[in-house]
C-alpha cells in the first residue's frame, strides 16, 4: 500500500468515525451559514464536485488543489428572500424606509412565504493547494399570518443571524489508478450571533415603524427585549475530488463530528453595542446571567456530487459546459417519512461559459428551478441568481424564493 492510498483510507476512517452519533445529552441544532452566493445558488446549490475558487472555501476544501490560483480581493453579495416579481419593489421600499405604493406587495410577502434580506462580504485566496479567507454573513427571514397595521395586531416572527469566520486549509493532489485525486481539509474558527424572534408584538412594531406604517405597536423595547445567542465555534471540514477523464466525483464532510457552539445569551442591544466595537459580549460562566445550559451545535453533513465536464473542440470561440448533481446532507436523506421528503436533499446544476467572460447557469434546488448569469470584465466579476429554497417537509410545502447579486474584484 503506497502512502497516497493510505492517506485516502485514513480519511475515510475518520469520516466513518465522525459520522457516529455521540451526543448523549440534550442538544439543539443550528444550521451552517454559507453565503447565498449567486454562482452556487444559480446552479441549484450543487457545487461539491466542481468546487473551485472563492466558493470552495464554503463547499469542498479539496477544491484548493486546483492548479490555477484565484485571489478574491473583495466579494460583496446581497440577497433578498422574496418572490421574484417583488424583489425590485421590495428592495426599493427597504432602502426608502417607507411602504408608499408598495404596501400590498410587502404585505403579501410577510403573510405568505416570508420576507427577508441578507448579505456577505469576504476576501480569500484559493488554488495551488492552499485555501484561506475571511467571510462575514448576515441573514434575516421574517414571516407570519398577518402584517402589522393600525387595525391588526399582527403575528410576525422570524430569525436574525450573523457570522464572521476565518477559513484556512490545505489540499494535496496525487494520481491513483489513472485518476487525479485531491484530498483537502480546513479549519473554520467563527463567531455567531443568532436570534429567533418570537415576540410578535415587538417584531411587528419594529417593522411597522421602519416602513412608516401607523401602528399601535411600540418598538422601543425591541432591542432590549430580544434575546440573542452569541458565541464562537471551531469547525473542521474534509473534502475529496476524484477526476477521471471528463467525470468528477466529489465528497465533502462539513463540521466533522458536529461543531459545538459556545453560546451565551444577551439582549440584542448589548450584542449590537459590542459588535460596533468589533467584538461580542464576554462569554457567560455557569451561574452568571446569560449562561446557556443547553448544548447547541452544527451537525455534521456529508455531501456527495458527480459532475460531467466535456472538453469540446473545434470551436473558434471557447464554449465550456459542465453539468452536475449532488445529494446534500447524505447522512439524513433517509430520515424522511416519504420519498418526496427525500427529494429535499437533491440538487442539480449546469453552466455554460463563453469566451471565459460570460456564463449562463441553471439548476434545480430541492425540486425548484434556479437561474443565473455571470459576467467577467477584467478584474470585475458580476453574478446574479434567482432561486427558491424549501423550508417545509417536502417540495412545495413551504417554498421561499430569493434573488442574489455579487460584485467582486478577482485576479
pLDDT at position 242 is 97
Q: Is 199 exposed, middle or buried (0-12, 13-18, 19+ CB in 10 A)?
A: middle
Q: 294 or 111: whose pLDDT is higher? A: 294
pLDDT band at residue 13 under the 50/70/90 scheme: very low
Average pLDDT (121-144) is: 92
Tell me if residue 404 falls in helix, strand or coil: strand
- Segment among 14-18, 171-175, 184-188, 406-410 with least mean pLDDT: 14-18
Residue for grid cell 410577510? 110
Q: Is the pLDDT of residue 158 over 50?
A: yes
pLDDT band at residue 55 under the 50/70/90 scheme: very high
Q: Is the pLDDT of residue 184 over 90?
A: yes
* Nearest-angstrom CA–CA distance, 309 and 118: 32
Most confident of 82-86, 106-110, 282-286: 282-286
Strand-pair partners of 77? 120, 406
C-alpha neighbours within 13 Å on the C-beta side of residue 257: 9
Strand-pair partners of 179? 176
Q: Is the pLDDT of residue 134 over 60?
A: yes
In this structure, is the dihedral angle defined by the CA atoms of residues 404, 345, 16 and 176, taken in order, positive or negative?
negative
Q: What is the pTM of this model?
A: 0.84
- Segment among 161-170, 220-229, 383-392, 395-404 with least mean pLDDT: 220-229
pLDDT at position 87 is 58
* Nearest-angstrom CA–CA distance, 131 and 56: 8
* Nearest-angstrom CA–CA distance, 239 and 249: 11
pLDDT at position 97 is 52
Q: 283 or 53: whose pLDDT is higher? A: 53
Mean pLDDT of the chain: 81
Identify whether the C-beta of residue 48 lies closer than 8 Å to the C-beta of residue 251: yes
Host H or E run for residue 103: helix 103-111
Residue for grid cell 417540495? 395
CATH topology for the 3-410 domain: Porin (2.40.160)
* Nearest-angstrom CA–CA distance, 36 and 124: 16
Average pLDDT (140-144) is: 75
Alpha helices in 301-403 (DSSP H): 339-342
Tell me if residue 403 falls in helix, strand or coil: strand
Average pLDDT (23-34) is: 73
C-alpha cell at 321: 459546459
pLDDT at position 186 is 98
Q: Is the pLDDT of residue 239 over 80?
A: yes
Alpha helices in 217-289 (DSSP H): 222-225, 268-276
Q: Is the pLDDT of residue 72 over 70?
A: yes
Identify whether the C-beta of residue 351 lies closer than 8 Å to the C-beta of residue 372: no
pLDDT in tens, 351-381: 999 888 999 999 999 989 999 999 999 899 9
pLDDT band at residue 332 under the 50/70/90 scheme: confident
pLDDT at position 285 is 79
* Nearest-angstrom CA–CA distance, 143 and 113: 7
Q: Where do the structural domains in the chain lie, given as residue ranges?
A: 3-410
pLDDT at position 214 is 47
Identify whether the C-beta of residue 34 lies closer than 8 Å to the C-beta of residue 59: yes
pLDDT band at residue 271 under the 50/70/90 scheme: confident
pLDDT band at residue 151 under the 50/70/90 scheme: very low
* Nearest-angstrom CA–CA distance, 77 and 119: 5
C-alpha cell at 338: 416519504
CB within 8 A of 357, min separation 6: which ones? Answer: 375, 376, 377
Residue for grid cell 451559514? 33
Q: Can you point out the beta strands (E) in 128-226?
A: 130-144, 156-176, 179-197
Amino acid at each position: 500500500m503506497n502512502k497516497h492510498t493510505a492517506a485516502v483510507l485514513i480519511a475515510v476512517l475518520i469520516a466513518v468515525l465522525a459520522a457516529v452519533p455521540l451526543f448523549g445529552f440534550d442538544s439543539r441544532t443550528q444550521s451552517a451559514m454559507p453565503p447565498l452566493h449567486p454562482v452556487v445558488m444559480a446552479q441549484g446549490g450543487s457545487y461539491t464536485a466542481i468546487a473551485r475558487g472563492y466558493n470552495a472555501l464554503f463547499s469542498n476544501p479539496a477544491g484548493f488543489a486546483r492548479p490555477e490560483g484565484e485571489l478574491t480581493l473583495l466579494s460583496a453579495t446581497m440577497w433578498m428572500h422574496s418572490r421574484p416579481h417583488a424583489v425590485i419593489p421590495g428592495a426599493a421600499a427597504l432602502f426608502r424606509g417607507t411602504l408608499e405604493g408598495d404596501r400590498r406587495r410587502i404585505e403579501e410577502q410577510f403573510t405568505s412565504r416570508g420576507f427577508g434580506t441578507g448579505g456577505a462580504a469576504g476576501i480569500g485566496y484559493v488554488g495551488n493547494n492552499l485555501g484561506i479567507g475571511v467571510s462575514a454573513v448576515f441573514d434575516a427571514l421574517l414571516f407570519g399570518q398577518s402584517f402589522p397595521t393600525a387595525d391588526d395586531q399582527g403575528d410576525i416572527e422570524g430569525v436574525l443571524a450573523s457570522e464572521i469566520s476565518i477559513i484556512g486549509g490545505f489540499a494535496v493532489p496525487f494520481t491513483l489508478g489513472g485518476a487525479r485525486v485531491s484530498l483537502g481539509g480546513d479549519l473554520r474558527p467563527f463567531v455567531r450571533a443568532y436570534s429567533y424572534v418570537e415576540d410578535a408584538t415587538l417584531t411587528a412594531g419594529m417593522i411597522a415603524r421602519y416602513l412608516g406604517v401607523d401602528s399601535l405597536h411600540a418598538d422601543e423595547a425591541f432591542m432590549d427585549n430580544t434575546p440573542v445567542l452569541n458565541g464562537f465555534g471551531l469547525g473542521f471540514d474534509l473534502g475529496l475530488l476524484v477526476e477521471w477523464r471528463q467525470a468528477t466525483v466529489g465528497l465533502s464532510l462539513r463540521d466533522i463530528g458536529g461543531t459545538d457552539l459556545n453560546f451565551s445569551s444577551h439582549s440584542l442591544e448589548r450584542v449590537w453595542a459590542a459588535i460596533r466595537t468589533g467584538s461580542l459580549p464576554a462569554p457567560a460562566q455557569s451561574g452568571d446571567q446569560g449562561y446557556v445550559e443547553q448544548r447547541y451545535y452544527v451537525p455534521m453533513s456529508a455531501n456527495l456530487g458527480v459532475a460531467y465536464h466535456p472538453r469540446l473542440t473545434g470551436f473558434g470561440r471557447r464554449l465550456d459546459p459542465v453539468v452536475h448533481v449532488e445529494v446534500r446532507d447524505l447522512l439524513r436523506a433517509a430520515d424522511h417519512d416519504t420519498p418526496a421528503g427525500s427529494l429535499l436533499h437533491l440538487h442539480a446544476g449546469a453552466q455554460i461559459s463563453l469566451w471565459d467572460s460570460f456564463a449562463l447557469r441553471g439548476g434545480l434546488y430541492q425540486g425548484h428551478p434556479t437561474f443565473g448569469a455571470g459576467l467577467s470584465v477584467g478584474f470585475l466579476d458580476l453574478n446574479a441568481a434567482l432561486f427558491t429554497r424549501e423550508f417545509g417537509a417536502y417540495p412545495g410545502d413551504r417554498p421561499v424564493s430569493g434573488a442574489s447579486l455579487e460584485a467582486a474584484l478577482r485576479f
